[in-house]
């Protein structure tokens, strides 16, 4: 059984001071570094994901003209209107400065299509297009994923659910995740959803 650590969206925009700051989002960095060191010491892979949006991405409230964090529709899919974030090449899209990039084997981008949002590391929200992550993992015979990052109730949750659907064994490092929590219970619900679908919460 080959494993990989999947670090999701530990980017400046989602950490304190960013436009979509997740409460205590920066506390995931030390956990990610610790796990990454352990994985690399055993010769196992470490992968990082980045939200990587064009500056006119359709999910942005500034593009839709709707208030932030309200619900609408984008390209036939339900859509929360987010603050501008994860813009390609911006400082906000960069990884948190304390995340040890020397431990990361590969970086994959998501959310590059202007007309659809992409929470999952594997697919856009409509499952219309796939990222390169699944192919990369399968080329290396990786079947077991250990996942952490931001945010529990969106990109972590949807990445984990898709990974399970694709047949991976998945563990979620709860101490290495933090949630947006537009509703206070959202992260707790997400953890239960992942567990109910077969993820092991550690």
- The catalytically annotated residue of 134, 155, 162, 177 is 155
Query: Within 10 A of 103 (CB to CB), how many other CB atoms are there?
Result: 19
Whether residue 9 lies in the annotated active site: yes
Q: What is the 3-state secondary structure (H, E, C) of 79-132?
A: EECECCCCECCCCCCCECCCCCHHHCCEEEEECCCCCCCCCCCCECCCCCCECC
Strands across the sheet with 2-8, in order?
Answer: 106-110, 45-51, 2-8, 142-150, 169-178, 200-201
- The catalytically annotated residue of 9, 84, 124, 134 is 9
- The catalytically annotated residue of 15, 51, 110, 162 is 110
Whether residue 124 lies in the annotated active site: no
Query: Which residues are marked as active site?
Result: 9, 110, 155
């Amino acid at each position: 059984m080959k494993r990989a650590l999947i670090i999701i969206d530990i980017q400046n925009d989602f950490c304190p001071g960013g436009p979509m700051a997740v409460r205590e989002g920066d506390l995931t960095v030390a956990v990610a570094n610790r796990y990454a060191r352990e994985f690399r010491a055993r010769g196992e892979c470490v992968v990082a994901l980045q939200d990587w949006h064009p500056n006119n991405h359709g999910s942005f409230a500034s593009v839709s003209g709707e208030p932030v964090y309200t619900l609408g529709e984008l390209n036939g899919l339900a859509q929360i209107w987010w603050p501008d974030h994860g813009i390609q090449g911006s400082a906000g899209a960069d990884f948190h400065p304390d995340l040890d990039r020397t431990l990361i084997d590969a970086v994959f981008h998501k959310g590059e299509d202007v007309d659809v949002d992409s929470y999952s590391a594997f697919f856009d929200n409509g499952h219309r297009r796939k990222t390169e992550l699944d192919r990369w993992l399968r080329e290396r015979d990786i079947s077991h994923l250990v996942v952490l990052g931001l945010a529990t109730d969106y990109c972590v949750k949807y990445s984990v659910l898709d990974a399970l659907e694709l047949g991976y064994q998945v563990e979620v490092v709860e101490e290495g995740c933090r949630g947006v929590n537009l509703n206070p219970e959202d992260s707790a619900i997400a953890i239960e959803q992942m567990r109910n679908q077969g993820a092991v919460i550690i």
